[in-house]
């Protein structure tokens, strides 16, 4: 492989994933991580877009990787980690690469700050994933800024349970640990009792989580765990209510720091500081290494207390969207990246995010873009119109609900729609409910576009004042305290 080639990673949290990520960085390759819950169609789109030369796969995911179009056409070399039924003679084992003798000296490359390092895929309003390209300089600037202002050092022990295939989760755990020289404790996947056991035994000082994880830790904790070493936990990915935060801190005896960022950032644009008191539901002050402005609907810069769209200075955000110049032009204007999120600053300069990216659903900390689900539903010829919104859920925060208009004189059931969605989408994206409605049911604007905010309001959909729990296979409450994790 040569500088600029893409390498795909279909891997769960593991030492091998960290090795692969940093080997790619060292060689000037561009790494692309795939969600381990993806179905073939979802993974095929991303692999087809970025055209990697190699994909590294934990063997249990070969059922998907082996069917990818580029693999079938022998345009993509497969490296497998571990053993499984789907490993074939055409794959190369990760261990064999590690054990092989390398002729000559390792390559020495002149990597510049503007060289591309990572593509983080995120969904957009069209429903098709977009690849946010980040440079070495952008990643290093964010790591340096967060390390400094969180006061991270070689004395810290960071516990990682969020899935590394999410770019922000990787950078906030292995990224910060390697940058600060801290110890990293890796969980293959989150399990509440094991997390608490590890935090106590390994004298963990900090971690990052989504509200789902905090809720599960709060429920699992007996109050007798020794968590005195923990300085703070970062919380992002979904709104955390003030009530839930206060309840957690009162029981667990350490701070939760709200933060705000996105795949396009690629780390935190704003976060609370460990040495500053919390204030309401703010996400703290803007990171010193980031420039942010709020732009009102009039196009002016918002004043204190005034709402506006959150714009990040482009040098603090993505370089571009991979292979998508139109999306790049639409999102980066006059040197600023428009996030689509609405925020306001209080009198002390703290950022409050008052609305998230338009129409996005956050289910157990995972983003779901309704347009993607709507596109899948409309592939069924019996469905003439489909609209998806988020509906409050007691454990998960939100779940997708589909409103479906069916063609005349045809029959289709809710179970059929859900089953069809499950064949093409990761389980967390599948609609929880389907409601059959006539076309006249939807509120529309003058151009006929469905007004989802009115649909949510008319359906009684409001943000719940609690945090939830995921059952999508990545997070587990656990029945007993026992760990199979490594350090």
Q: 365-411 pLDDT, tens per residue?
A: 887 878 788 888 988 889 988 999 999 887 888 899 999 999 888 89
Asked whether the predicted pLDDT for residue 445 surpasses 80, the reply is no
Instruction: State how beta strands 6-10 and 54-58 pair.
Output: parallel
Same structural domain for residues 74 and 205?
no
Same structural domain for residues 288 and 187?
yes
Asked whether the predicted pLDDT for residue 357 surpasses 70, the reply is no
Q: Is residue 118 a part of any domain in this protein?
A: yes
pLDDT band, very low/low/confident/very high, at 483 (cuts 50, 70, 90): very low
Same structural domain for residues 266 and 344?
yes
List pLDDT tens digits, range 276-307: 888 777 899 998 889 999 999 889 999 999 98
What is the domain-level CATH number for residue 78?
Answer: 3.40.50.980
pLDDT band, very low/low/confident/very high, at 310 (cuts 50, 70, 90): very high
Q: Give the count of domains, the chain.
A: 3
Instruction: Name the more confident of 199 and 297.
Output: 199
> Of 48, 81, 101, which residue sits at a domain end?
101
Range of the domain at 91: 1-101
Same structural domain for residues 353 and 370?
no
| 474 Cα distance to chain centroid | 13
Q: What is the pTM of this model?
A: 0.82
Q: Is residue 477 a part of any domain in this protein?
A: no
pLDDT at 248: 92
CA atoms within 13 A on the CB side of 369: 15
Average pLDDT, the chain: 87
Same structural domain for residues 179 and 88?
no
pLDDT at 84: 67
End-to-end CA distance of the chain: 30
> Of 82, 101, 120, which residue sits at a domain end?
101
Find tokens 């040495």 and name the residue: 275
Asked whether the predicted pLDDT for residue 145 surpasses 60, the reply is yes
What is the domain-level CATH number for residue 200?
Answer: 3.40.50.12780
Same structural domain for residues 175 and 259?
yes
Average pLDDT (47-69) is 96
d(CA 6, CA 323) in angstroms, rounded, equals 13
Q: Is residue 447 a part of any domain in this protein?
A: yes
d(CA 124, CA 339) in angstroms, rounded, equals 11
Instruction: Name the more confident of 83 and 25.
Output: 25
Same structural domain for residues 423 and 297?
no
Same structural domain for residues 115 and 250?
yes
Asked whether the predicted pLDDT for residue 461 surpasses 60, the reply is no
> Of 328, 359, 390, which residue sits at a domain end?
359
Average pLDDT (188-211) is 95
List pLDDT tens digits, range 155-185: 999 999 999 999 999 999 999 999 999 999 9
* Percent of the chain residues past pLDDT 90, beyond the cut: 61
């Amino acid at each position: 492989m040569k500088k600029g080639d893409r390498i795909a990673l279909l891997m769960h949290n593991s030492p091998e994933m960290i090795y692969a990520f940093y080997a790619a960085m060292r060689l000037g390759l561009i790494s692309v991580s795939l969600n381990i819950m993806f179905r073939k169609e979802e993974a095929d789109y991303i692999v087809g877009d970025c055209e990697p030369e190699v994909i590294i796969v934990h063997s249990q995911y070969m059922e998907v990787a082996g069917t990818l179009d580029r693999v079938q056409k022998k345009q993509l070399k497969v490296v497998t980690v571990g053993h499984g039924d789907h490993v074939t003679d055409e794959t190369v084992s990760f261990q064999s690469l590690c054990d092989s003798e390398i002729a000559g000296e390792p390559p020495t490359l002149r990597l510049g700050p503007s060289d591309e390092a990572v593509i983080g895929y995120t969904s957009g309003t069209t429903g098709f994933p977009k690849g946010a390209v980040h440079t070495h300089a952008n990643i290093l600037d964010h790591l340096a800024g967060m390390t400094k202002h969180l006061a991270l050092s070689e004395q810290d022990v960071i516990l990682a349970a969020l899935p590394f295939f999410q770019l922000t989760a990787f950078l906030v755990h292995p990224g910060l640990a390697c940058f600060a020289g801290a110890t990293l404790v890796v969980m293959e996947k989150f399990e509440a009792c094991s997390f608490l056991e590890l935090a106590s035994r390994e004298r963990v000082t900090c971690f990052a989580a989504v509200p789902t994880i905090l809720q599960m830790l709060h429920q699992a904790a007996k109050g007798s765990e020794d968590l005195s070493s923990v300085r703070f936990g970062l919380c992002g990915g979904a709104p955390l209510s003030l009530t839930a935060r206060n309840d957690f801190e009162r029981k667990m005896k350490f701070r939760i720091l709200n933060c705000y960022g996105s795949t396009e950032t690629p780390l935190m644009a704003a976060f609370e500081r460990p040495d500053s008191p919390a204030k309401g539901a703010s996400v703290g002050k803007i990171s010193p290494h980031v420039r942010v402005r709020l732009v009102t609907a009039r196009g002016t810069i918002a004043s204190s207390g005034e709402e506006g769209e959150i714009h990040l200075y482009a040098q603090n955000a993505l370089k571009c969207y991979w292979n998508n110049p139109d999306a790049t032009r639409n999102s980066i204007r006059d040197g600023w990246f428009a996030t689509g999120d609405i925020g306001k600053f209080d009198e002390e300069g703290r950022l409050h995010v008052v609305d998230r990216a338009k129409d996005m659903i956050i289910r157990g900390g995972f983003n779901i873009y309704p347009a993607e689900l709507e596109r899948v539903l409309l592939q069924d010829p019996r469905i003439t119109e489909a609209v998806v919104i988020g509906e409050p859920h007691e454990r998960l925060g939100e779940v997708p609900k589909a409103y479906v208009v069916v063609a005349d004189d045809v029959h289709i059931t809710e179970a059929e729609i859900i089953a069809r969605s499950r064949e093409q989408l990761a389980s967390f994206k599948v609609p929880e409910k389907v409601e059959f409605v006539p076309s006249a049911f939807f509120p529309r604007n003058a151009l006929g576009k469905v007004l989802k905010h009115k649909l949510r309001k008319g359906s009684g959909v409001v943000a719940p004042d609690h945090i939830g729990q995921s059952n999508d296979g990545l997070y587990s409450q656990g029945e007993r305290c026992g760990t199979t994790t490594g350090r």
